[in-house]
Structures are given as structure tokens and as C-alpha cells.
């Protein structure tokens, strides 16, 4: 039996903790229940996982499906690798901890990323020099209209920086139900330590998945607000990628501008642009910009989703006026 709730508050279901309601709500513990609910439903739907990348700005007059299917299993094992299948409702960080306990390598740089497994492929989660696509094998997803399952290989997912087919051609068409990743076993790990702060913390000659994860956790907790203490949804904007012409103009004006060149383009930290406009630590009511990381918008307690959204619009407009850069939200605005 799937329990349908009515006019449910979503305040505790997203990490930014703004108030909001959904007309109908159900929590799915088994994939078969997901199919039953999709079959019987005629309302518009939204799919909720860990709620870490969502800003709720208005009442939703449809059905919110909260995916909570659990299960982690090793499907295949060789001398060097394991293929692990994880159900969509598993918490990403708990999966990283499980991998580290088993001394499997590949996801240690992605420790402490909030959110669930099912959302990870949608934006190709990434941090500290590693992206999901590097360990991703395939995912299983249900087509919302036909109810047929489809396997998406790594190529079919068309992963990019915070991007995939699920944000483009297949936006809102599929619900991801499980993900398979390939992790390395002891003696076969390849560590990514290039990201400056990691190199400073871990010694090169004694690397392990657990030591890297520990370093990442140390870096993240020193810079990023814990959503349990201050509501937030991680980076609010993507780091913009600009062309050479604009880059040269900006470089003349701001010789200190941090940048990451790639294929005649330049990725600029959005946090730097926002900090340059003096927004770091800014607060208007209970909506604000984090004091240690300008890319993170925070809810100090009673901000509404709309107030956070309006602050994001104000920042976008100023960044556009001053730097001629159009920031794209990384967060889904609901
Ligand atoms: N910077 C500032 N001001 C700040 C913070 C950063 O000027 O307040 C500048 C500095 O020059 C710094 C650079 O921005 O060197 C990069 O900062 P940081 O390493 O903190 O990373 P980021 O580019 O702001 C991205 C991801 C994060 C991820 C980190 C580490 C995006 C949108 N965000 O942030 O992901 O943890 O790199 O890899 O790509 C998330 O997606 O929610 C997230 C937290």
C-alpha cells in the first residue's frame, strides 16, 4: 500500500529548509511501488531525492514523489575492480563511507556531497578534481510516460560540467531508479590529489581512499555550511565558462581574476565574481550569502524560497551588469 499524503509541508525535505507545500506526496520504498503510483496518477509530478539541490518557491499543485529505495550490492568483482549497484534512495555520502570502509577507491573526493544516489547522474556531481562520470558505468531509469525501464550507459548520459542528458533532451522524462559504478580495489587505486588543498593535507607516499576522504571532509567542513546548522543547497550557481574575447577584457580590468583555461575558453569561479561585488556575508532578512563561500546562498531560519530566489536574481543582475557574465543557477527552482 502506498500512502498518499495531502497538503504536505516540505520544509524538512529540502536542505535549504524553506517553507512550502505540495498538494500530494508519497514516499517510495520499492521501485515496483513507483510504477504503480505512476500508473494511477494523473497529476503533474515532481521527483524528490535528498532535497539538496532544490529551492521551493511556490505551492506545488501536483504529486511529489519522494524516492527512498535503499540497497547497495557488489554485482561483479575482479582482481582490480568491483561493480556496485546502488538504489536511488541511498544517501550519497553514506555510500562514500561504505566504499571507504571496504577500501574501494573512486568516490573518496566526493565525500560529504549532500543528496541521494538518484540525483547524482542528473548533474554529474563533482568536487575536488573528480566527477561522477569517472566511476559511472550505467543507470537504470523509468520513463514517466511509457513506464518502461531504460539503461543509460555513460555515453548516453552525455555528461558535462554539472550537466547530463537528464537536464537537456530527457529533462523530466525519466526517474532514475539505480546507478552502477566501477570502483578500484587495493593496489589499483588512482588518486586525484591535484586539487590544491588536498595536496596540502595528505602526504603523497601514504595515500588511501580513507585519507583522501578525510582531507576532503576537513576542507568541506571548514568552508561549506552544514545544512543541519544553516539551510543551504550547496553552490547556487554554476561556475561560468566564458570565451577568450570577454576573458581578455576582464583580465585587463582585473589582472587577479582566478581562471581555469580549457579549450580556448575560461572557467571563472562564480564565488569570486560574487565576492568582488561585496556580497560575501551579505544578509537581507533571513536570506543571505555565506560568509566563507560566496557561491552559497543561505537561509538563516525563516527565509522564504522566494526571498532566496529574489536575492539570486539581484546577484545575477549585478554580475551581468558589471562583468557581462550570465550566471546560471545550479539549483532547481521549483
Ligand atoms: N572564491 C572566492 N570567494 C569565495 C570562494 C571561492 O573568490 O568565497 C574563489 C577562489 O579563487 C577559489 C575559487 O573561487 O580558489 C574556487 O573556490 P572553491 O574551491 O571553493 O570551489 P568553487 O568553484 O566555488 C566548486 C563546486 C563545489 C565543489 C568545489 C570543490 C561548482 C558550482 N561548485 O566550487 O561544489 O565542492 O568546487 O571542487 O562547480 C556544489 O556543487 O554544491 C559544490 C559545493
Query: Is 308 found in the same domain as 202?
Result: no
Q: Which of 162, 304, 307, 312 is catalytic?
A: 162
**HSE value, Cβ hemisphere, 13 Å, CA-based, for 203:** 2
Residue range(s) defining the domain that contains residue 322: 231-333
Element (H, E) at 271: helix 270-276
Q: What is the pLDDT of residues 207-231, one digit of tens each?
A: 999 999 999 999 999 989 999 999 9
Are 11 and 32 in a shared domain? Answer: yes
What is the predicted pLDDT for the residue at 195? Answer: 80
Distance (Å, whole) CA 46 – CA 19: 17
Specify the CATH number for the domain of residue 317: 3.90.78.10
Indicate whether 326 and 193 sit together in one domain.
Answer: no
pLDDT in tens, 236-294: 999 999 999 999 999 999 999 999 998 899 999 999 999 999 999 999 999 999 999 99
Average pLDDT, the chain: 96
| Residue after which a domain boundary falls, among 206, 223, 240 | 223
pLDDT value, residue 203: 80
Residues 149, 59, single domain; the answer is no
* Catalytic position from the list 235, 303, 304, 312: 235
The answer to whether residues 21 and 85 belong to one domain is no
244 and 120: one domain?
no
pTM: 0.93
196 Cβ inside 6 Å of ligand 1: no
Q: What is the mean pLDDT of residues 194-203?
A: 82
**Is the CB–ligand 1 distance for residue 116 below 6 Å?**
no
Q: Which three cell numbers stand for residue 93?
A: 555520502
- Domain tally for the chain? 3
Residues 103 and 146 in one domain: yes
Residues 42 and 113 in one domain: no
Q: Same domain for 25 and 41?
A: yes
Amino acid at each position: 500500500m502506498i500512502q498518499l499524503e495531502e497538503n504536505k509541508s516540505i520544509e524538512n525535505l529540502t536542505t535549504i529548509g524553506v517553507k512550502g507545500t505540495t498538494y500530494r506526496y508519497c514516499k517510495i520504498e520499492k521501485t515496483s511501488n513507483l510504477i504503480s503510483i505512476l500508473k494511477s496518477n494523473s497529476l503533474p509530478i515532481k521527483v524528490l531525492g535528498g532535497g539538496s539541490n532544490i529551492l521551493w518557491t511556490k505551492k506545488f499543485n501536483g504529486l511529489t514523489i519522494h524516492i527512498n529505495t535503499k540497497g547497495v550490492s557488489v554485482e561483479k568483482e575482479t582482481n582490480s575492480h568491483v561493480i556496485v549497484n546502488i538504489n536511488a534512495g541511498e544517501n550519497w555520502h553514506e555510500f562514500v563511507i561504505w566504499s571507504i570502509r571496504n577500501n574501494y577507491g573512486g568516490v573518496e573526493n566526493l565525500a560529504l556531497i549532500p543528496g541521494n544516489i538518484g540525483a547524482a547522474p542528473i548533474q554529474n556531481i563533482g568536487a575536488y578534481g573528480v566527477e561522477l562520470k569517472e566511476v559511472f558505468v550505467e543507470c537504470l531509469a523509468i520513463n514517466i510516460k511509457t513506464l518502461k525501464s531504460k539503461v543509460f550507459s555513460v555515453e548516453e548520459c552525455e555528461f558535462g560540467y554539472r550537466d547530463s542528458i537528464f537536464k537537456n533532451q530527457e529533462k523530466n522524462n525519466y526517474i532514475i531508479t539505480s546507478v552502477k559504478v566501477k570502483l578500484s580495489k587495493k593496489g589499483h587505486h588512482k588518486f586525484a590529489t591535484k586539487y590544491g588543498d588536498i595536496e596540502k593535507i595528505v602526504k603523497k607516499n601514504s595515500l588511501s581512499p580513507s585519507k583522501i576522504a578525510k582531507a576532503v571532509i576537513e576542507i568541506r567542513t571548514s568552508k561549506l555550511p552544514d545544512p543541519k546548522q544553516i539551510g543551504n543547497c550547496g553552490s547556487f550557481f554554476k561556475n561560468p565558462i566564458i570565451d577568450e574575447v570577454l576573458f581578455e577584457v576582464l583580465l585587463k580590468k582585473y589582472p587577479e581574476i582566478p581562471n581555469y583555461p580549457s579549450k580556448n575558453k575560461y572557467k571563472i569561479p562564480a564565488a569570486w565574481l560574487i565576492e568582488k561585488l561585496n556580497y560575501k556575508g551579505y544578509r537581507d532578512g533571513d536570506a543571505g550569502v555565506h560568509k566563507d563561500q560566496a557561491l552559497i546562498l543561505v537561509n538563516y531560519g525563516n527565509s522564504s524560497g522566494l526571498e532566496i530566489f529574489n536575492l539570486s536574481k539581484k546577484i545575477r543582475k549585478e554580475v551581468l551588469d558589471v562583468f557581462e557574465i550570465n550566471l546560471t543557477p545550479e539549483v532547481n527552482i521549483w
